[in-house]
Each structure stands twice: as structure tokens, then as C-alpha cells.
Amino acid sequence: MGKAYYDIVGTDDSWGVRHDNDPVGDYASKEAAFEAAVLAATNAIKFGHEVRITVPGSDSSETALGVVTN
């Protein structure tokens, strides 16, 4: 069984989905990126993979590259 991890990453006006450490897509909202990740995760589930989707909260300091800033 494989693993399929999807991380929603971005800023206020540009969001993407990081899968296998590669950011993919250009979405106008965090919600749109999440919906895209759910569609991809649905296919992964059909193939029997373990699935994880993470979405940062509004107070997160993570940037589009996944780097935490202080």
C-alpha cells in the first residue's frame, strides 16, 4: 500500500497543492486548492493508498515553499 500526501500551500492570492514535494496548480483560494486535493485523494483511495491532506490555518506562518518564518 502506498501513501499519498497532499499539503495545501500558498499565500492570500495564490494557492497550490504539494504532492511528493512538488507544488502543483495555481488556485485563487485555499478552498479551491483543497477541492483539487480531495479529487486527487479520491483516486489514491481507489488504488488503496493511505491518504493525508493538510491545510494551514489562517494564522500559519508557512509560505508557499513550506518554510516557516519567524
Q: In tens digits, what is the pLDDT along the chain, a chain of 70 residues?
A: 799 999 999 988 899 999 978 888 999 999 999 999 999 999 999 999 999 999 999 875 555 555 555 4
| Whole-angstrom distance, CA of residue 9 vs CA of residue 51 | 17
In a domain, 70, yes or no: no
Distances (CA, A) of 46 to 8, 13, 29, 43, 63: 21, 32, 27, 5, 31
Query: pLDDT at position 66, please?
Result: 56
In a domain, 63, yes or no: no
pTM: 0.77
Query: pLDDT at position 21, please?
Result: 83
In a domain, 21, yes or no: yes
In a domain, 49, yes or no: yes
Query: pLDDT at position 70, please?
Result: 44
Which residues span the domain enclosing 26? 3-33+41-54
Beta-bridge partner residues of 54: 7
Report the number of distinct structural domains present in the chain: 1
In a domain, 19, yes or no: yes
Amino acid in the structure at residue 29:
S
